[in-house]
């Protein structure tokens, strides 16, 4: 469907730690009606490789329509909550 709003969420879910900001970002996206492609980074190595590859300092990272929005605070502003 053309009106489906898609977002890709890259977030850290390690055995010993689930990033609360990633959980919050997913809830915000779903609450705003987005279908979320939830990409879990499951090890410190995956997280570090993702950050190096994307040139970012933190996770989660949200991408909407091919545009990187940023982290959960950036998403909050993007959605008009901030």
Predicted local confidence at residue 17, as pLDDT: 94
Predicted local confidence at residue 32, as pLDDT: 96
Identify which of 57, 58, 64 has the alpha carbon closest to the alpha carbon of residue 36: 64
Predicted local confidence at residue 3, as pLDDT: 65
Task: Give the whole-number percent of the chain exceeding pLDDT 70.
Answer: 95
> What rounded mean pLDDT belongs to the chain?
94
Confidence of residue 4 (pLDDT cuts 50, 70, 90): confident
Residue 1 has pLDDT above 60, yes or no: no
Q: Distance of alpha carbon 19 from its chain centroid, rounded?
A: 11
Q: What DSSP string runs through 10-75?
A: EEEEETTEE-HHHHHHHHHHHHTTEEEEEEEE-SHHHHHHHHHHHT-SSS-EEEETTEEEESHHHH
Q: Round to whole Å and give the CA distance between 41 and 31.
A: 22
Count the Cβ atoms, other than its own, within 10 Å of residue 12.
21
Just give the CATH number of 5-74: 3.40.30.10
Domain range list for the chain: 5-74
């Amino acid at each position: 469907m053309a009106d489906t709003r898609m977002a890709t969420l890259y977030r850290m879910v390690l055995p010993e730690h689930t990033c609360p900001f990633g959980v919050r970002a997913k809830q915000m996206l779903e609450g705003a009606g987005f279908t979320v492609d939830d990409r879990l980074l499951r090890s410190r190595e995956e997280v570090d490789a993702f950050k190096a590859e994307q040139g970012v300092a933190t996770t989660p990272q949200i991408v909407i329509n091919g545009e990187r929005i940023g982290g959960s605070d950036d998403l909050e502003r993007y959605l008009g909550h901030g």
